[in-house]
Amino acid sequence: MAASVQAFGGSGTFKHGVHPPERKHFSEDLPIEVVPSPKQVLLPMLQHVGAPSIPVVKAKDVVAFGDMVCKSGGFVSAPLHAPIGGNVLKSAVTTLPNGRHVQVIPIKADGEQVEGPALMAEILGGEWPLDSLGQYDRATITEAIANAGIVGLGGAAFPAHVKYTPNDDKPVDTVLINGCECEPYLTPDYRVMLEGTQAVIAGAILAGRAAGARDIIIGIEDNKPEAVKVLQAAAEGTDVKIAVLKTKYPQGSEKQLIMAVLKREVPLGGLPLDVGVAVSNVGTAAAIARAVMRGKPLTHRVVSVTGSGIRNPKNLLVPIGISYRELIDYCGGLKEDAARIISGGPMMGFAFANLDAPVTKGTSAMTVLTAEDVRKAEETACIRCGRCVDACPMNLVPTKIALASRAKDVDLAQAYHIMACFECGSCAFTCPASIPLVQLVRTGKAQVIASQRK
C-alpha cells in the first residue's frame, strides 16, 4: 500500500547533500537485454565485503550452470557459483577497477548455455506467488540467502545473510528496501523495479520474515514515478509499504535513507542494526526471492552501460565474471571522444583502464564519459569556503581529512573520523578549488589500514 513518508516518522529527506545532474536519460527507458553467453568468465574469489571465498573446484573440473565453485570463507563471506557451464581453468590473478589484485577462477564455456528469454524469465520473470511465502520460516530464508551467495547489489557487496541472521542483542523492527538509485547515470535498479516488480515485492516480504521485522518499506525517490506506480500496485494486499522520498544525492546511502524514512540517526561508526533496521537494495530483494522460491544462486546481475561516450547505451543482464570489454563491444563500442570509463557512476565509481577486468556482484554500471564531460578546472588552494562541510551528509570536515591524508598523518585523519566517510563525492562536487577530496580520502583510508597491520 502507499503511505506518506511522514507516517513512518521521517520527512522524506536528510540534511546536507547535493543535486548533481541526473543524466539518466541515456538508459532509463531501455528494457533489460540479455547479453549472449561469453566464451569465458573470470570469477574473483573476493568480490564482497569480508573473507575471500574458498575454491571447491580445481583445474580441469567440469561445472554446470549454477554449480558452486567457491564456498564461503567465514560468516562474513559468500560462496560463488558458475554463471555458465564449462571447464574450470587454472586459477589466475586480475586487477579490479578499484585497484585490488585478486585471485580468479576462469571457466571456459562448453556446451549449450542458459541464455536469452529463458534466462530472463528464470531470473526476473515468471510468477512469484505471494500467497505461498508463509511456508518459509526465518531459518530457511536465511540459509537460502547464504547458500545462494547473495550480497548487496547496490555496490557495497556486503553478504546479505549477515543482515538477516537473528541477533537478540540488536533486533530488527524495520526492513528498508532501497530503490532510490541516486547516483547519476545509473538505471539498473529502476529497470529491475519495472521489469522484476513481483520479484522485488516477494524478496522484500521474505527479507522481512527473515529479520522478524514489523515493517517492510521500499524507499523510492520522487523522480521515478513509474516505479512508484508499479510497486504500489504490486504491493496491494501485502505488508509492504512504499515511501516516496525527495530526490537528492546521496539519498540511497543507508544512513541517509534511514533518516529520510524513519528519522532514526545511525551513530557515527555504527550500523543500521544499531537502530533496528536492515537495508537491502531492490536488486538484492529480487535475488532473495529467486534463491528462496526457486532455489537458484546469484549468477547474473543487471548492469547499465551508459554515458555520452558509448555508442548504444543499454541495460544488460550479464553473467558475473564477464569482461567489461565484451559489454562495450555489445553496446557498439566507444565513441571517438570517449575519455574516461568508470565502474559505477561518476560520484562513487572508479575510473579504470583494464577492460579485461571482470564484472563482479557489486558492479552496477559502466559509465563512459567524453572529453567534454571530464573537462574541469585546474586544482587550486582551498579557500576555506566551507561548501564541502555544508554538503557532507555525514557532518564531517572533508578538507581537514584531505589535508591529514596528504600529510600522511594517520592519527589526525582518524581524529577527523576518516573511516566514517563513505566516499559519496558530495564534497568534491561542490569544491570550487577542484580538490580531489574523494581520492585523498581513499588514500588516507589505505594509510590507516596499513598502520593497523603493523
HSE of 449, CA atoms in CB hemisphere, 13 A? 7
Q: Where are the alpha helices (DSSP H) in 263-356?
A: 282-294, 324-330
Place of cell 524507499: 219
Q: At CA 244, angle to CA 242 and CA 246, rounded to 5?
A: 160
CB 254 within 8 A of CB 274: no
Q: At CA 182, angle to CA 181 and CA 187, rounded to 5?
A: 45
Measured from the Cβ of residue 129, the count of other Cβ atoms closer than 10 Å reads 9
Per residue in 163-215, pLDDT tens?
999 888 999 999 999 999 999 999 999 999 999 999 999 999 999 999 999 99
CB 300 within 8 A of CB 38: no
Per residue in 369-384, pLDDT tens?
999 998 876 888 899 9
- Mean pLDDT (whole number) for 112-122: 93
Rounded distance, CA 452 to CA 330, Å? 44
Q: Please, what's the largest Cα pairwise distance for the chain?
A: 62
Q: Which three cell numbers stand for residue 64?
A: 554446470
What angle, 0 to 180 degrees and rounded to 10, lies between the N-to-C axes of helices 197-211 and 225-235?
A: 60
Is the pLDDT confidence value at 330 over 80?
yes
Is the pLDDT confidence value at 5 over 70?
yes
Rounded distance, CA 320 to CA 153, Å? 12
Place of cell 521500499: 218
HSE of 357, CA atoms in CB hemisphere, 13 A? 23
Is the pLDDT confidence value at 4 over 80?
no
CB 310 within 8 A of CB 328: yes
Is the pLDDT confidence value at 454 over 80?
no
> With pLDDT > 70 as the criterion, what percentage of the chain qualifies?
99
pLDDT band at 3 (very low <50, low <70, confident <90, very high): low
Mean per-residue pLDDT of the chain: 95
Strand 215-221 with 68-71, pairing: unpaired
pTM above threshold 0.85? yes
HSE of 350, CA atoms in CB hemisphere, 13 A? 16
Rounded distance, CA 135 to CA 386, Å? 54
Per residue in 386-415, pLDDT tens?
999 999 999 999 999 999 999 999 999 999
Query: Which of 190, 321, 177 is CA-nearest to residue 261?
Result: 177
Rounded distance, CA 14 to CA 444, Å? 27
